[in-house]
Structure 1
C-alpha cells in the first residue's frame, strides 16, 4: 500500500500575520490577495523548508511561522532570500489580519510533492 503524503496547510491570515511579525508588510498584503494556486505553492514550499531547509543550532527544523513567511516571500518574489527581520516581533492586536482562507484541498491533493520548490530554493536553503 502506498503511503499517503500530506502537505502543510495554513490560512492566508496566519501567514500574513507571520509576515508582519518579520517586517514583511508588502508580502503580508500580497498573501491576503494571492491566488489559490499561489497559496498551495506557499504551503508546499513551507512544507519543504520544514523537512529539508535550514535547521537550528540544535538540529531542529525552523519554526513553522518562519517557514511560512520565507515560503510566501519566495513565491511572491520568485527568488529565495532572508526575511527583512531575523527575529519575529509581536504584531499588535489591532494590526493583526483575520478571516483568512485555507488552501484549496483539491489543488493541494493534485499538486506534486514540494510543488513550487525550485532549484534556486534548494541551492539557497538546503
Structure 2
C-alpha cells in the first residue's frame, strides 16, 4: 500500500537531488581559484522520461511497446563549457553563491513538505488527537 500516493518517495528523490546539487556547488566554490578547473552542474536528465514512464499504455497488440524506461538516477552531472578566468577556470563565484542559496531554499521547502506528510501520518496514527 502506497501512503500519500507516492508523494514521500518523490520528496525523497527531490531531497537526494538537492543534496547532490549542494555537493556539486560546494565543490565548484572550493575550486574557484584552481587553475583549469571546470565547474559542474547537476540536472534532471530523465525528468520527462520519468513522467512518461508513470503513464500506463493501453495496448491493443502485444507488439506495442510500453512507455516505461529504466533509469538509475534521475539526474546527471555535466561539466560547464567555456573559460571565464585568466587561469582557465570557469567558476563564477557570484553565480555559484546564488545557486547555493536557491538550492538551500528548495531543500528546505522539500523538507518542510516531508515533515508535513509525517505529521499528518502521526495525527492519523494517534486517532486525530
Q: Which structure exhibits the higher relative contact order, with contacts defined as CA atoms closer than 8 Å and separated by 6 or more residues?
A: 1
For normalisation by structure 2, the TM-score amounts to 0.26
Higher strand proportion (structure 1 or 2): 2
- Higher-Rg structure is 2
TM-score normalised according to structure 1 size: 0.26
